[in-house]
A and B are shown apart, each in its own frame.
Chain A
Amino acid sequence: MESSAHSPALGQVQTSRLLASGLGWRRRSVNIVMTALIAGAFVLAMLPLFSLVFEVAKRGIPGLSAEFFTSDARGVVGGGGAAHAIVGTLVITGVAAVISVPIGIMAAIYLNEYGAGRLRRALTFFVDVMTGIPSIVAGLFAYALFELFLGPGIRLGVMGSLALSVLMIPIVIRSAEEVLKIVPNHLREAAYALGTPKWKTITKVVLPTAFAGLVTGVMIAVARIVGETAPLLVTTGVVDSMNTNPFQGRMQNLAVYAYNEYRSPGVMKQASYDKAWAAALTLIAIVMILNIAARFVYRRYKTEIR
């Protein structure tokens, strides 16, 4: 049926048009069916996202109140807020970032600017390994380490931060490496030509050029760990009262709070569930804001490189 297409007298455009119109109905319908299946699969894959965001918003809003954000749950039956969990989340995540960001960025600088030979290869390989560590295993590691020195049953905010660092460092390295890589070499060479030492070239030329990308990477990494539950369940424990000292005593955080309100609801079951959903909504809001802000920072402040 496509024999006419081979006629040498026809021009190119006409050939393809004829070819298209000459498609057998079978080939054409297979094409339509498969395209529809692909589009359908995409929609199906997106349904959970919309359902999840919708349900969390719907079920989370009733639990939001001034009390939720301002008071802890110490000695309160059924009531109380999540202020201690919010503060705990900030402290634990903050300490984790303080550990991870310098180490991660310096390691990325090592990989991109200095690294050579076996140490470089080993680091590249083991950062890959680190990306695959299950979060609960990171928690067990922090527990095992502190237990050895401080005795069994130990729970501290900083243990949670250490566990989260194990998860955060590889993310920081990977993203920092990406943005350092795209800093063009001619900038470095221009600095060297002016007699600038290497370390100053890195701190005054390379890092400022990559700055927006570095900040974006750190924000995405924080967004990734801020909602972690499992490693904190085994390291920071569960507690009802405010604690701002990561080096002393148990520390609550939003994810563990949500889990605990669901798992051990008080006498007023629905009130506990409401608070679990409110904590979930707060977490989603934090994660989304971090993600959107990260993209905004990158678009707005990235250095144009020609």
Chain B
Amino acid sequence: MASVDTTTNAGQLLAAASGGRRRLGDRVFSRTAVVAAVTILALLAGVAIFLLSEGFPALTASASELPEGKTFIDYVAPLAFGTVLASAIAAVVAVPLAVAAALFITHVAPPRLALTLGYLVDLLAAIPSIIYGLWGIFVLGPAAVPVLKWLEEKLGFIPFFKGPASATGRTMLVAGLVLAVMILPIVSAVAREAFAQTPRRLKEGAQALGATRWEMIRMTVLPFGKSSVMSGAMLGLGRALGETMAVTIILSVSGAVTFNLIGQANPSTIAANIALNFPESSGLAINALIATGLALFAITLVTNMGARAIIARSNQE
């Protein structure tokens, strides 16, 4: 009994002796953590507020005051079209490749190599976009010219490949392909994580029933990872929508609204248009560019929310 009493007393004494200091330290530290959390919320609110306040003048200005003498809606519409078109190409190309790469890493390649191969795919995400741009215009673009010509000749009846084919390769198709390479790692990473978590009992069950590897993948791994692949695809799409430098460098823009992916005249994208025109603009033109940035922010926000919603829903199931 005595010993218990002593311990309690000692604990109380300790607490009483250092209590003031201890509470102060705790209070300061936890306040700092809360301040950091609130700072981040304030920063994000700041992004929305300052873009709105600096973009607003362009939304209310008359057509004659704005660049190209168009109303803001007429100004941003072709850019939004180009943005969505380039990102759609990127997603269509990247998603199947990313899924296949994820399957290869998780279920086909020797397990010993999985980590290294995953690291290689992640390296694609580490390369700065300016370098993708230079690679696109100096390497992939010229290499694509004969392919573009071939597409025009053989598949010219499809509106996408109507031509005339560009002689430089600075086309929507090439820009979309480079974007595809850039978003592949994020899509693949999400898919990889889901595929790796396929329950063992499902896979082994399929194999016990005599399924081949492909049948096992088709019947257990793919259905299990379906919603993750969808959300990964949307995250990738969000990346592609906001990607700037690669498109800025590669695409030869004319403001045309066209589905012809291999021609000389291409619609610009919102982000590329800002990067091209911002440094030399002043006055209302700056406000107009900031307003287009706000539109881009809204588009990517909706896309990312969609991706999160899919993840949340599949987690509930």
Interface residues of A (CB under 8 A from B): 2, 5, 16, 19-20, 23, 27-28, 30-31, 34-35, 37-39, 41-42, 44-46, 48-49, 51-52, 55-56, 59, 102-104, 106-107, 109-111, 113-115, 119-120, 122-123, 126-138, 140-141, 143-145, 147-148, 152-153, 165-166, 169, 173, 195, 197-200, 202-203, 223-224, 226-230, 233-234, 237-238, 255, 258-259, 262-263, 276-277, 280, 283-284, 287-288, 291, 295
When distances are taken between beta carbons in the complex, the residues of chain B under 8 Å from A49 are: 120, 123-124, 127
Interface residues of B (CB under 8 A from A): 11, 14-15, 18, 22-23, 25-26, 28-30, 32-41, 43-44, 46-47, 50-51, 53-54, 96-98, 100-101, 103-105, 108-109, 117, 119-121, 123-124, 126-135, 137-140, 181, 184, 188, 208, 210, 212-215, 217, 235, 238, 241-245, 248-249, 271, 274-275, 278-279, 282-283, 286, 289-290, 293-294, 296-297, 300-301, 303-304, 308
When distances are taken between beta carbons in the complex, the residues of chain B under 8 Å from A291 are: 123, 126
Contact present for A59 and B138 (CB under 8 Å): yes
- Determine which residue in A20, A38, A129, A145 has the highest number of CB atoms from chain B within 10 A of its CB, and name it: A38
Contact present for A202 and B29 (CB under 8 Å): yes
- The distance in angstroms between the C-alpha atoms of A59 and B139, with both chains bound, is 11
> Majority SS of interface residues in chain B?
helix
- The distance in angstroms between the C-alpha atoms of A152 and B249, with both chains bound, is 26
- Determine which residue in A34, A51, A55 has the highest number of CB atoms from chain B within 10 A of its CB, and name it: A34
Contact present for A42 and B100 (CB under 8 Å): yes
With A38-B103, A262-B134, A276-B134 given, is the CB distance from A45 to B121 under 8 Å?
yes
Closest to B107 in A: A38
Name the one of A27, A104, A123, A230 contacting B244, with C-beta atoms under 8 angstroms.
A230
Contact present for A134 and B135 (CB under 8 Å): no
Contact present for B40 and A103 (CB under 8 Å): yes
Contact present for B33 and A113 (CB under 8 Å): yes
Closest to A165 in B: B43
Closest to A132 in B: B304
When distances are taken between beta carbons in the complex, the residues of chain A under 8 Å from B127 are: 49, 52, 227, 284, 287
Contact present for A137 and B242 (CB under 8 Å): yes
Closest to B283 in A: A152
Contact present for A227 and B104 (CB under 8 Å): no
Contact present for B282 and A136 (CB under 8 Å): no
Name the one of A113, A197, A227 contacting B25, with C-beta atoms under 8 angstroms.
A197
Contact present for A140 and B293 (CB under 8 Å): yes
With A106-B32, A128-B304 given, is the CB distance from A136 to B242 under 8 Å?
yes
- The distance in angstroms between the C-alpha atoms of A51 and B135, with both chains bound, is 9
When distances are taken between beta carbons in the complex, the residues of chain A under 8 Å from B271 are: 134, 136, 230
Contact present for A280 and B108 (CB under 8 Å): no
- The distance in angstroms between the C-alpha atoms of A224 and B119, with both chains bound, is 15
When distances are taken between beta carbons in the complex, the residues of chain B under 8 Å from A144 are: 50-51, 53-54, 290
A-B contact pairs, 23 of them (CB 8 A): A30-B212, A34-B217, A45-B184, A52-B131, A52-B135, A103-B36, A104-B36, A106-B32, A107-B37, A109-B36, A132-B242, A133-B242, A134-B297, A136-B271, A137-B242, A143-B54, A152-B283, A198-B29, A199-B28, A199-B29, A255-B128, A255-B245, A280-B134
